């Protein structure tokens, strides 16, 4: 068993007693973001659709408040947004202090399906722009070059296919070209790894290489060089490497914190060699696999 040491980087966000977290993310620079509201019933409800059926994706009323908590320079900052533009939001932190808020599926607004399901807010909380990000979004990842990666389920095909890269204004840059769900994505320093139906896919300079994956149902991955840390079902961890053209399973792994094993944690996000996780009893932690890949175990 490979034991990996994570450092505690932030306490839990100081939500008020009436606030509920809606979405969580970590930006490429390590900033932690929590989108919250004091009206969860308005933010996560239902509206009547075209066939008099109930639909979960819509635009909440203007009375629904939204607050972004961000952890920067060792303290939490609270920013009120001008509105909550979509229900059941997914978020990503972009460059220059911008926040992306997107609806996972096309929302039903004013009697029609609204294709522009992504909204960007400035560092002052005002709404700046909106654009189409595709239907049936499973994951949103912002990378260190300032671009946005999304993965899409079958409801989003064929318009969005599986894995799509866009600039911060929603302009298409690249896509995988196939209709297949990517369950994990990590993009850093010009290299992107994704897990897709039993395979690990490496994308560099728009060139794709695919390898059989020794771990099933990967939900998150961190990488440095040719080494990868894969999180499978129930966040079980595996240490792997690309050796002689194949991904090899090297060892099982577990994470410990500064005070010992973490008891109740889940993976929050990954950026390059960094895996971010949330421990329900001790806040946010970060694991850097660089030293482990260089042959200097962290414990």
Q: Give the domain CATH number at 66.
A: 2.120.10.30
The domain total for the chain is: 1
Render pLDDT for 119-141 as a digit per residue (tens, 0 to 9). Answer: 999 999 999 999 999 999 999 99
pLDDT at 8: 96
169 in a structural domain? yes
185 in a structural domain? yes
Q: Check whether 294 has a pLDDT greater than 80.
A: no
58 in a structural domain? yes
- Angle 136-268-272 (CA atoms, 0-180°, nearest 5)? 95
Q: Check whether 200 has a pLDDT greater than 80.
A: yes
pLDDT at 159: 66
Q: Check whether 217 has a pLDDT greater than 90.
A: yes
The Cα–Cα gap between 101 and 97 comes to 13
pLDDT at 192: 96
The Cα–Cα gap between 75 and 88 comes to 27
The average confidence (pLDDT) of the chain is 94
pLDDT, greater one: 291 or 84: 84
Domain hosting 202: range is 2-293
107-115 average pLDDT score: 96
287 in a structural domain? yes
87 in a structural domain? yes
Which pTM does this prediction carry?
Answer: 0.95
pLDDT at 161: 67
pLDDT at 298: 46
Percent of the chain with pLDDT over 70: 96
Render pLDDT for 166-179 as a digit per residue (tens, 0 to 9). Answer: 999 999 999 988 76
Cα 172 → chain centroid: 19
299 in a structural domain? no
298 in a structural domain? no
């Amino acid at each position: 068993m490979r034991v990996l040491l994570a450092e505690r980087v932030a306490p839990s966000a100081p939500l008020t007693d009436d606030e509920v977290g809606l979405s969580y993310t970590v930006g490429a620079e390590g900033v932690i973001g929590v989108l919250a509201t004091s009206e969860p019933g308005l933010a996560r409800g239902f509206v009547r659709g075209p066939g008099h059926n109930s639909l979960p994706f819509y635009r909440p009323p203007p009375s629904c408040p939204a607050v972004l908590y961000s952890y920067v320079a060792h303290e939490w900052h609270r920013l009120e947004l001008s509105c909550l533009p979509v229900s059941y939001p997914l978020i990503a932190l972009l460059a220059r202090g911008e926040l992306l808020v997107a609806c996972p599926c096309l929302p039903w607004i004013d009697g029609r399906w609204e294709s522009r399901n992504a909204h960007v807010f400035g560092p002052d909380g005002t709404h700046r722009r909106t654009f189409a990000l595709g239907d049936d979004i499973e994951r949103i990842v912002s990378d260190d070059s300032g671009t946005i990666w999304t993965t899409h389920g079958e409801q989003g095909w064929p318009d969005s296919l599986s894995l799509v890269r866009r600039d911060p204004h929603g302009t298409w840059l690249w896509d995988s070209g196939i209709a297949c769900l990517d369950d994990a994505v990590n993009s850093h320093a010009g290299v992107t790894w994704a897990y897709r139906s039993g395979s690990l896919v490496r994308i560099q300079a728009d060139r794709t290489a695919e390898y059989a994956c020794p771990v099933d149902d990967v939900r998150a991955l961190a990488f440095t060089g040719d080494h990868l840390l894969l999180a499978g079902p129930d966040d079980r961890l595996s240490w792997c490497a690309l050796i002689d053209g194949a991904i090899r399973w090297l060892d099982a792994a577990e994470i410990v914190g500064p005070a010992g094993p973490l008891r109740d944690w889940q993976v929050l996000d990954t950026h390059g060699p960094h895996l971010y996780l949330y421990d329900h009893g001790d806040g946010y932690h970060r694991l850097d696999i660089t030293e482990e890949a260089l042959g200097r175990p962290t414990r």
